[in-house]
Amino acid sequence: MNKVLIFTHGIDIDGFGGAILGKLAFKNPKIVFADNFNLDELMISTLKNDAPYDEIYVTDHCPSYALCEKIESSKALSLVIKVFDHHISRKGKEENFDFVNLVVGNENGKQSGTSLFYEYLTKTGKLKRTGSLDMFVKLTTLYDTWEWKKDKEFGMQAYRLNTLFQAVGRDRYIEIVGNILERNPNEFKFSVKENKIVDNFIRDFYSQIDNYIKKIKIVDVDGLKVGYVELEDLYKNDIAEVLRNQDNPLNISYLMMPLTDRGSVSLRNIENVDLADIATKFGGGGHRSAASFPKSNEEFKLLQHKIKDNLSSQK
């Protein structure tokens, strides 16, 4: 029996999708969750300390160019590793390695790490396609690529899927979704209990969002008006959504949000700004509408000092 190792993004439902699919396709795979910026470190330490694996997958994430070069130079590794990523910030660099499958979008629309991994697993016969799995992958992709708002048929289901994660956390989310997929292979549908969990969470959640909106400070970053607020990772997507739905009352281009429970700074669009390009300048990456970079970036530290000095002078 093959020994399988899966590295996946550990902070959103697209990354969790890779873990869920891996658990269904393989018997007891080892799953390692990485945050936005520690994938290289985790891969190096795991591969150094563990016995060799027959199959290694990376989903919704991609090793750095330097690590990809090292993998390519090792025949033992390059033949067993497959990477499934969809982040546009990797285009033109890491995508040139044979073991990296980087697809932002194709004839079927925008892709996610989950959708790319699912297509591979089903096409190679490692996982049987079902109606329930098809819908789970669709909803995950809709939410992760920000297409859920445009999709009148399935958008709200995608939103509620992500809200389930927000309500119960990563490990419980993976367990619940796995149970849903097993109990009904033909239809992906929440139970009465699961719907109640989501409804109760939404009610309390938006009260906290309103509190964070009151704390937003408007600062100038490279000539753009930016909303700056420190908050928990849980709220980063929805606070931007609320501001967009309110027709941008603060008249800002995007949100810059140092996360109090993570080592990263999240960027979310309010207007049409290329956040992937902005994040890259701070040592990060992501999508046009949603990106991030490490708090440890020296340029950000300088910017943060300027922001805090400006905020102090405004008091």
**Amino acid at the residue 214:** K
Longest dimension (CA), the chain: 65
Residue 281 domain-assigned? yes
Query: Which of 12, 234, 237, 2 lies closest to 114, judged by CA?
Result: 12
* Integer Cα distance of 160 and 175 in angstroms: 16
Question: Are residues 184 and 220 part of one domain?
Answer: no
Residue 208 domain-assigned? no
Question: Are residues 299 and 227 part of one domain?
Answer: yes
Q: Tell me if 159 sits within 8 A of 5, measured CB to CB.
A: no
**Residues with Cβ within 8 Å of residue 288, at least 6 apart in sequence:** 88, 269, 274, 275, 276
Question: Are residues 176 and 249 part of one domain?
Answer: no
Low-confidence residues of the chain, pLDDT below 70?
Answer: 311-315
Question: Are residues 14 and 157 part of one domain?
Answer: yes
pTM of the model: 0.77
* Inter-axis angle of helices 65-73 and 39-49, nearest 10: 30
Among candidate residues 155, 190, 225, the one where a domain is terminated: 190
Look at residue 313 in the predicted model and tell me its pLDDT.
64
Residue 47 domain-assigned? yes
* Integer Cα distance of 274 and 256 in angstroms: 13
- Name beta bridge partners: 224: 221
* Integer Cα distance of 240 and 112 in angstroms: 21
* Integer Cα distance of 34 and 61 in angstroms: 8
* Integer Cα distance of 301 and 187 in angstroms: 48
Residue with tokens 């979704």: 177
Residue 49 domain-assigned? yes
- 101 sits in the region (left: phi over 0; alpha: psi -120 to 50; else beta) called beta
Total domains in the fold of the chain: 2
Question: Are residues 248 and 137 part of one domain?
Answer: no
Domain span at residue 172 reads 4-190
Residue 306 domain-assigned? yes
**Amino acid at the residue 301:** K
Question: Are residues 256 and 222 part of one domain?
Answer: yes
Residue 198 domain-assigned? no
Q: Sign of dihedral through CA atoms 180, 23, 40, 112?
A: negative
Residue 206 domain-assigned? no
Question: Are residues 163 and 47 part of one domain?
Answer: yes
Residue 195 domain-assigned? no
* Integer Cα distance of 165 and 191 in angstroms: 15
Look at residue 149 in the predicted model and tell me its pLDDT.
87
* Integer Cα distance of 96 and 69 in angstroms: 10
Q: Tell me if 62 sits within 8 A of 16, measured CB to CB.
A: no
Q: Tell me if 261 sits within 8 A of 251, measured CB to CB.
A: no
* Integer Cα distance of 186 and 132 in angstroms: 5
Residue with tokens 């931007």: 240
